[in-house]
Every structure is written in C-alpha cells, then in structure tokens.
Structure 1
Amino acid sequence: MSFRHLSRDIPAGIVVFLVAIPLCLGIALASGAPPIAGLVAGMVGGLVVTMFSGSALSVSGPAAGLTVIVLDAIEQLGGFGAFLIAVILAGVLQLLMGVFKLGRIGAFVPTSVIKGMLAGIGLILVLGQFPMALGHPLDDMPAITDPVALFSDISPLATLIALFSLGLLVLWEQPIIKRHRALALIPGPLLVVIGSIVIDRLVGGAMPGWALGAGHHIDLGGLSGPTELIGQMTHPDLEALANPAVYTVAITIAIIASLETLLSLEAIDKLDPLKRHSPPHRELKAQGIGNVVCGLVGALPVTAVIVRSSANANAGGRTRLSSLIHGSLLLVSVAFLAMWLELIPLATLAAILLHTGYKLARPALFLDQYREGMRRFIPFTVTVITILATDLLMGVLVGLVCSLYFLLQSGYRSAIACTRRGEHMLLKFQQDVSFLNREEMRQCLDAVPDNGELIIDAIGANYIDPDIREDIDRFVENAAARGIVVELRDVEGTTGTFGDVEPSGIARTA
C-alpha cells in the first residue's frame, strides 16, 4: 500500500468516518438490528474488506439496500443470532463467486431492474422512517398505514429536529454549497448530527415539556471501553443451521450484496481521478471474507457503498489508506467515545435515512425511465411494485422475467422477414433464430404456393436452432411433390438450388 498520497488520504479518511457514523447507526435501526451491529459492520468494512480489496477508493459498510432483507430475515429466523449464520453463509457464497470469477454478473442484470431495485428500497426506507421522525419510540412505532396512530402523540421536538435535519441535508447538496470548496468538504450528515444535538439540548433544557426521553436517543448500552464493546457483540446461533430458511436468506444476501457491490464498483471507478480499474472478482472475494467476519463478530452484512465511496473520492482520497483510516476511527470512537454517540436523537437518523431513501426513489428517476420507453419503464415499475408487495429478491426476479419477455419479443419480431411477390417468396433470417421463431417460419413456409419459388437466405444468422433446421429439411424433402423450387443460401453451410434445372435456369422439382 502506497503512502505517496498520505496528505490526501488522511483528510479523506476523516470525512468518510464522519459520514459513516450516522449512516451505520441509521441503517442498523432501520434493519431492526442492535445499533452496535451497524457500527461494527463499518469497522469490518473499513479494516477487513479494505485489506483484501483491489479497489483504491471503494469503501464498504452496512448498506441501505439490505435493510429490507435484514429486517424481514431477523423476524423470520427468530433472532439476530440466527441471522448471523445466514451472513456467514452469504460470505462463503460470495467468496466462491469470486473464486469462480463471477464478478461480471452485474452486467447481466438490466439497468431498469437495478434502478427499480434501488427505487423500491428507497420507498421502503422513506415509509419506514416516518414514525421515528415524528418522535415515536422504537418499541412503540405505529404502522405507516394507520394515520390516526401515526399523527397522534407525536413529539414536537423530534419533529422539529427531523425537519431541521432534512432541510440542512437538502441545502448541503445545492450548487451554492458545492461551489465553495471549504463548505463542500464538510459532510452534511456531520452538521446535521451536531446541529440536532445542540437543538435537543437547548430546546429540551428551555422547555422541559418538549424534552426527548431516553427512548428517543441512540442506546449503545453504556459502552465505556473495548471490554464492553466485545461483551455486547452478538454471537451466531449455530442451531440455526438446521433451519432451511437460513439458506434462503443467505442466498438472497449474497446475490443482492454482490450486485450492489459490483454496481458501486463501476460507479466509483468513473469517479477515480487516476482512472484505475477495480478487479470485480477480487472484490467479491474481499466482500465474502468481510461478511464471514461480520457474521462471527455480530455485525450487519456489508457491501461496497457508493455514498461513502463517493465521499472518499470527493474528499481527495487516492488509495485504500483512506478507507483504513475511516475504519480505525470508527473502532476508536465506538470503543472509547460511545457516550457521545448516545447524544444523537433518533429523529436525526430518521431524517438521514429519509433523505437517502428519497435520493434512491426520486420522482425524476421514474420520469426518466418513462421517457426511455416502455421496454425500460415496465420492468422498472414491475420491480418496484413487486418489492413493495413481497420482498427484494422476488422483485428482482420478477423484473428480470419482465425484461426477458421484452428481449424475447424483440428477437421474435426481428429475427425473420418473409416477403412474397406473386409465386416468388423470400424467407430471410436477419439474426440468430431459435425455436421461438418456429411458428412464424412455419406460417411463411405454409404460404408458399404450389409450383412457386422459395429462397431461404440465412447469411445474416450465425446460429440456426436444430428445430428450425429440421422444419427446413422437411419442407425441402416435400417440395418436389408440390413443384416448388427451393434455393438455400448459407443455411448452416448448405447453399444451392434443389430441383430439376430448366433451360431458363430456374430449378424446378418434377
């Protein structure tokens, strides 16, 4: 690891650390996991994954894209300890995917499905954070579908903090801020956290009736040192290996985490000022090792995360050292400064996640997909709706099936062209033909008149399905009985005219 860019990597590592703290905590809360699990996942992403990764700027940690899976899985498997077994198995699967060089799988998922997956996650994040933003405690949050309970007994101070946080996050992404390099280097989430703590202390002190209780703040169990940190880590429940659902969850985590990692890797390579290419197979191995460690130490699963990675690039990071610095600072802050983290109001984390969810599912994204045509908009929309109605993996699978339908439909329509002029017919294969084109070709062959002429031109096809060739052979064999002349042009190497050649040069079957 090079130390040539140390002057850039140290400030970048500090910036990523400041961005990571609220995101790690917020994602853990949204996932229904202990807050410490999100922070430890950030440490593993910064210290373990970085050591094995081949990417210079990628930063790993708990991802918003997995919150839906984690939340459902913990409930389905009956506890966080059982879920950790699934995380370990997912890591093993990712490691194997890297070994067998499956790092290119992201290229086989249509962009519309990927964007639909992210939009679905964003909508779930937005819907899930409203109760906490309004001041409902974690142990008594009403359903978003119950507006009476949702808007009754809300906390004015928590709502104020959430609105302040959202407003500042939106402001911090405006061009007027980005044009000032000094302001642009200050992470918006850090300002939100500091400002929220100040508001909480000032308003709560001046107006005791509005003061937030213990249930409205992060609870790390009173950590005061490394010993307590180790003691609070959840251990994997080995008995969960007998539960078949664990393996389904593991496969789901491995697939979604790998997709998110590979997509983030492509995105961060485009931001790299040195134009380096990150090896995807090696990244899958690194993520696999990281998730095995996460499962063993009681952390949430990790992926390469574009939010932290882009913060790293924008802050001037140049090597993996910046990610290592961010992981080290996370470890020190949790082990020795946990009491300061417990000052953060939950409404602040809810606002950060609301903002993150909005960016994933912004209205402009839906409009852009619509403008690109139904072949993109329908798979995108189907993916979003299916995720909201079922789960993430099912949404991606249904979106893939929908995209495959449009692909097959396109191939079906454009593979064969049939033209007729009087008794002369031309059947042209414009691209590879499969059994899906069999019925269309049969209709063309059936339309050839007796004593007519048929040219089958396959010059434009590199592959002809055996079923197609079988139908052609059968037609050629029976053509003589109907007086039809058949000319084959490069039909899998066969070229020529079948029939008796008359003086005019036209071959006819007797």
Structure 2
Amino acid sequence: ETLQIILPYAVGLSIVGLLESLMTATIVDDLTDTTSDKSRECKAQGIANIGVGFLGGMAGCAMIGQSVINIKSGGRGRLSTLVAGTALLLMVVFFEAQVSLIPMAVLVSVMIMVSIGTFNWGSIRDIKKYPITSNLVMISTVIVVVWTHNLAYGVLAGVLLAALFFANRVGHFMYVSSDYQESDDTRNYQVVGQVFFASADKMLAAFDFKEAVSNVVIDLNRAHFWDITAVSALDKAVIKFRREGALVEVRGLNEASETIIDLFSVYDKPEEIDKVLGGH
C-alpha cells in the first residue's frame, strides 16, 4: 500500500531529476566547450539518490541555476562543486538564522538573471526560420510546463509530438516503383524506404491487385520493416496477389527485416490467412 502511494511521486521525481541533470550537463558543456559523460552522470545520480534514501535524506539532481552561477564565477573543475556544496551545507546547518534574513526578492532576482542568461533568445528571434513542426514542439512543451508546473509533463508532450512529426516525415520517404517483364509475364515491385505504421498503407496502396499477371516479385532489397503493421501489410499484399492467381516471390530482405517477418508474417501459414483478412 505504501509503495502504491509513493511510486507515482518517485517516478515523477526521477524523470524530472534526470531531465534537469541532462539539460544542466548540456548547458555546462556549451559554456565550457567540454564533453561530459551523460550516461555516467545518470548512473551516479541514481546510485547517490538510492543511498540518500536509506539515510533518510532528500534526493537531488544537477541544478541549472547553481551550475551556471558557478561557471560564471570562474568554477571549472570538481573543486568548485565541492566548495559550493560545502558552503551551502555550512550555511544551512550553522548560519540558518543569517540566511533567513536574506529577502526573498533577492533570491528571485538572482534566479531571474540566471534565467535570462541561460535562455536561448535566438529561438525566439529566428522562430520564422525554423520548421513549423519544431516550433510546435517547442511552444507545446513550454505551454504544458507552465500550465501544469511539471517539467516531466512538458517534456513528455514534446517528445510525443516530435515522435509523431518524425514518423510522418519518414513515412513520406517510402515509395514503391514497378516494371513489367513481358517475356515471363512478371510484375516487379521495388519497395524503397522505411516501412512501419505510418507508411504501411502507402506501400499497400501502391500494389495493383487487379492486374492479370502470372508472377509477382516484391523486391525488398532497399526497404526495412520496423513493426508488425508493416508485416501485416506485406501479408495482405502477398495473400491478395495469390488470390488473383499470381505466383508471388518476396526477395531481398535484410537480416533485421527477415527476423521480424519470420516471427509475425502469416502469408506462408494457411491456417492463419483467414485471420489476417478478417475471415473473408
């Protein structure tokens, strides 16, 4: 019961913590012209937060504001982070009364200046130059974060939109060409591109199932199948051609596509064909 209560909050905190740490690492890399091992940072953060939990402490992550202030104050190495952390610990433990005298307005002004310094103003200035899909992702992410006060929701919305736009764009690069060999009455189809849920229907629509030919060759040498939707489209194409009396040959599969087709295709399994075509 306790786990059910704390799990949603734990997952949310872990996502936000990882995202902020990754963003902080990216900003620090840009400011210092260095390259950080982000995978190592995430692993270290996870291990440290697990250990803190056993000690009754509070989980933490890299902070953009403090990191930027540290860098702009001249800090470049690990010693700077150690000094900053030690100073913060001393202020919280031994100088709590003095720190509490600092007006909230001062802290807010510091964070505002950090925000001004870290914000990419060029993203607004050049917004007309960017693709409309990139602008939609950026604006949607900002709106969701501001509306929900939750960075995880904003990033999730941005990732989902970016994935949808990417799938739609890649799907347009898939095409099917064909040629007819009169000598042996064969129609050759060459499928080129990435075949997945966004382009499977386009591939299927490119086949002429009513053409009266003796042989059909589907050449997949320049195609890649990604999911079961693509496999299902290939199944339907082969089965429909066979129902029209044509001999169908599928050739040119790469290793990855052959693996997924062998696992999920049914065009060579008569007992499964009716299920694919809805029993018709």
Q: Same fold (TM over 0.5)?
A: yes
Alpha-carbon distance, 1:313 to partner: 4.3
Deviations, residues 385-432 of structure 1 (Å, cap 9, x unaligned): 2233334333322222211211221232212234689x9976432223
- SS state at 1:459 partner: strand
Asked if structure 2 preserves the Cα contact closer than 8 Å seen for 1:427 and 1:456, the reply is: yes
Q: Separation in 2 of the partners of 1:469 and 1:307?
A: 53
Q: Note the C-alpha offset of 1:478.
A: 3.7
Are residues 1:384 and 2:142 paired?
yes
Counterpart-to-counterpart distance in 1, 2:242 and 2:20: 54
TM-score by length of 2: 0.69
Greater relative contact order: 1 or 2 (C-alpha under 8 angstroms, separation 6 or more)? 1
Q: CA RMSD in A?
A: 3.8
Please give the per-residue CA displacement for 1:302-358, whole angstroms capped at 9, x wherever unaligned: 212344334444555453222112222223333443443233222212222333445
Counterpart in the other structure of 1:329: 87
One-letter code of the match for 2:146? L
In the alignment, which residue of structure 2 is the partner of 1:399?
Answer: 158
Between the aligned partners of 1:474 and 1:357, the Cα distance in structure 2 is 60
Whether contact under 8 Å (1:387, 1:395) holds in the other structure is yes
The reply on whether 1:413 has 2:169 as its aligned counterpart is no
Instruction: Please say if 1:460 is aligned against 2:222.
Output: yes
- Counterpart for residue 118 of structure 1: none
Does the 8 Å CA contact 2:209/2:241 hold for their aligned counterparts? no
- Give yes or no for the alignment of 1:440 onto 2:198: no
Query: Do 2:17 and 2:61's aligned partners in 1 also have CA atoms closer than 8 Å?
Result: yes
CA contact (8 A) 2:187 2:217 kept: yes
- The residue matched to 1:322 in structure 2 has which SS? helix
- Counterpart CA distance in 2 for 1:426 and 1:386 is 49
Deviates more, 1:399-408 or 1:433-442: 433-442
Q: Distance in 1 between matches of 2:205 and 2:189?
A: 11
Q: Write the distance in 1 (CA, Å) between the matches of 2:23 and 2:146.
A: 22
Distance in 2 of aligned mates of 1:434 and 1:350: 49
Gaps of 5+ in 2: 259-280
Letter in 2 for 1:474: I
Question: Per residue, is there more helix in 1 or in 2?
Answer: 1
Counterpart CA distance in 1 for 2:212 and 2:46 is 65
Equivalent residue number for residue 105 of structure 2:
347
Change (3 A) 1:371 1:436: same
Listed one character per residue, the Cα deviations across residues 20-57 of structure 1 (whole Å, up to 9, x for unaligned) are: xxxxxxxxxxxxxxxxxxxxxxxxxxxxxxxxxxxxxx
Instruction: Within 5 Å, give how 1:119-198 maps onto structure 2.
Output: none
* 1:337/1:389 CA distance change after superposition, 3 Å: closer
Question: Percent identity, aligned pairs only?
Answer: 26
Render the CA deviation track for 1:104-137: whole Å, top value 9, x for unaligned. xxxxxxxxxxxxxxxxxxxxxxxxxxxxxxxxxx
SS of residue paired to 2:176: strand
State the SS of the aligned residue for 1:442: helix
Contact in 1 for aligned 2:204/2:234 (Cα 8 Å): no
TM-fit CA distance, 1:254? 0.1
Instruction: Indicate the SS of the match to 1:432.
Output: strand
**Alpha-carbon offset, residue 491 of structure 1:** 4.3
Q: Which one-letter code corresponds to 1:399 in the other structure?
A: G
Aligned residue among 2, 13, 24 for 1:264: 24
Alignment gaps of 5+ in structure 1: 1-240, 495-510
Larger Rg: 1
In the other structure, the counterpart of 2:212 is 450
Code of the residue aligned with 2:165 in structure 1: it is: F
The answer to whether the Cα contact below 8 Å between 1:369 and 1:376 also exists between their aligned partners in 2 is no
Asked if the contact 1:479/1:486 (under 8 Å) is kept, the reply is no
Q: TM-score, normalised by structure 1?
A: 0.41
Q: CA deviation at 1:443?
A: 1.7
2:239 to 438, 462, 474: 474
Q: Deviation of residue 255 (structure 1)? A: 0.8
